Amino acid sequence: MYLDLQQTGTQVAGKVDTIGHTWQVKGPVTGTHFELYFGARETKPRVTGDIQGSELHLVRDEAHFVAVPAQSSEDYPKPERLPIPALHDVPSNGLAKTPPMGWNSWNLFQEHIDDMTVREMADAMVTSGMRDAGYVYVNIDDTWEGVRDADGNLGSNKKFPDMKALADYVHSKGLKFGIYSSPGPRTCAEYPGSYGHEQQDAKTFAAWGIDYLKYDWCGARMIYNNDALQAVYQKMGEALLKSGRPIVYSLCEYGNDHVETWGAEVGGNLWRTTGDISDTWSSVIANIEKQAPAAPYARPGHWNDPDMLEIGNGHMTDNEYRTHMTLWAVTAAPLLAGNDIRSMRPAIKEILMNREVIAIDQDSLGKQATPTKSGTIETWIKPLADGSMAVAIVNMAEVEATTGIKGSDLGLDNKMTAVRDLWAHTDVPFPGGVYSAKIPPHGALLLRVRTKN
């Protein structure tokens, strides 16, 4: 860290440079003690410190640091840009024939995730029925990383005392285990990334028994421009292939540089099409709108990812969560729950574990639906492997809507043989080729329409 701080009365303000990020910070000073808040929304200081002569004695995440005066700005280490490999197609790893399903720690826990919580989640995946519904990956996101040893091997931090043992535990439950890193020297949360250690880290992950890697651009931004994205992701894609273990490769670079057009070539199984989701209706809709244009690139082994699920995190209505699940299913999105699966209300369980809806997401044809809009109604149609169609109808309005489907609008004059409502788990009548229903505000219908040839 490089600190550039100024005290004015009982306040200190300035900037903190870390590898990959500059933070504008401020906080109170009491005598020789000070606190630094790294953002307006933080409720507790990220760093506390004491002025001792010409040194600052700092505490961050219970780790102690001493800051000494810099002689010049050159004291601040700027990692060199490593040469990037020439582009070529990375062979497919043959994984993720259907969109990956599981759980990820970030949406709910952020940095407050540890070994015990992950074990409890693995237990809950089994006891809640999530595993048997198809959710098999248990993925730790950012903040597990520790320090590198003298040989450059990355270790986990004290929240994760033994990654191999944790992987064994997760595997013993019939689940798979995922982890997170960055092509930069630092991750988004400022922990060590895989920069310059790509092959070494891939080997470490394989030795621990990792089955899934989310690789997050973030700290790579200070070193590379977007024109290096493809080569940098290719480097880890190849490293994973050479690691000797099948590892699902998840690209997280927020949809930059049309990742959907090259994600498969660098070895990716899935790639984020969006920025970070939050537990709000507007975020769900914004993300699904960014997901939509990438539809032609979704196919078995290679998926567009509008980010992890917020279902059950408490800030949307159950109708909105049902719509969230519906839209992720018709767009063949990865289904990575982001809630506390140890304590789910029955309604949340029903949404996440609706097998008829999951079957739409996991359909082997691997097509992603595209939307058509009519006022505040959106209709998404996804062709399925058995020749039937999934039809999602979303009410974007804040009032109830009466709407439905007409066989003629689907190009199915007189051809519909059955229409099933997948949230109601019932076949519905469609007199004269028309099915109509009421949809609550921000609600969705999800229908499976069967046809005769």
Residues forming contacts to ligand GLA in the complex (CB under 6 A) are 106, 141-142, 187-189, 216, 218, 252, 276
DSSP string for residues in 315-337: SS-HHHHHHHHHHHHHTT--EEE
Compute the least distance from the CB of residue 216 to ligand GLA, in Å. Answer: 5
Compute the least distance from the CB of residue 187 to ligand GLA, in Å. Answer: 6
d(CA 42, CA 435): 50
Compute the least distance from the CB of residue 16 to ligand GLA, in Å. Answer: 17
Residue 11 makes CB contacts below 8 A (sequence gap 6+) with 26, 27, 28, 29
Residue positions annotated with a catalytic role: 216, 276
Q: Assess contact for 1 and 65: CB atoms under 8 A.
A: yes
- Residue type, position 152, single letter: G
Based on CB atoms, which residue is closest to ligand GLA, 115 or 307? 307
Based on CB atoms, which residue is closest to ligand GLA, 142 or 320? 142
Measured between alpha carbons, how far is residue 149 from residues 64, 154, 181, 259 in Å? 19, 7, 17, 34
Compute the least distance from the CB of residue 115 to ligand GLA, in Å. Answer: 18
Which tokens belong to 75?
């004291």
Q: What is the length of the chain?
A: 453
Q: Is 322 exposed, middle or buried (0-12, 13-18, 19+ CB in 10 A)?
A: buried
Compute the least distance from the CB of residue 310 to ligand GLA, in Å. Answer: 12
- Residue type, position 399, single letter: V
Q: Are strands 137-139 and 145-148 parallel, antiparallel or unpaired?
A: unpaired
Compute the least distance from the CB of residue 260 to ligand GLA, in Å. Answer: 17
Compute the least distance from the CB of residue 274 to ligand GLA, in Å. Answer: 9
Q: Assess contact for 403 and 391: CB atoms under 8 A.
A: no
| Residue number closest to ligand GLA, CB atom | 188
Based on CB atoms, which residue is closest to ligand GLA, 198 or 253? 253
Which tokens belong to 257?
């540089």
CB atoms within 10 A of CB 233: 27
Q: Assess contact for 439 and 401: CB atoms under 8 A.
A: yes
Q: Assess contact for 294 and 331: CB atoms under 8 A.
A: no
Residue 338 makes CB contacts below 8 A (sequence gap 6+) with 103, 104, 106, 107, 108, 308, 309, 310, 311, 313
What are the phi and psi torsion angles at 164 (to 5°)? -65, -45
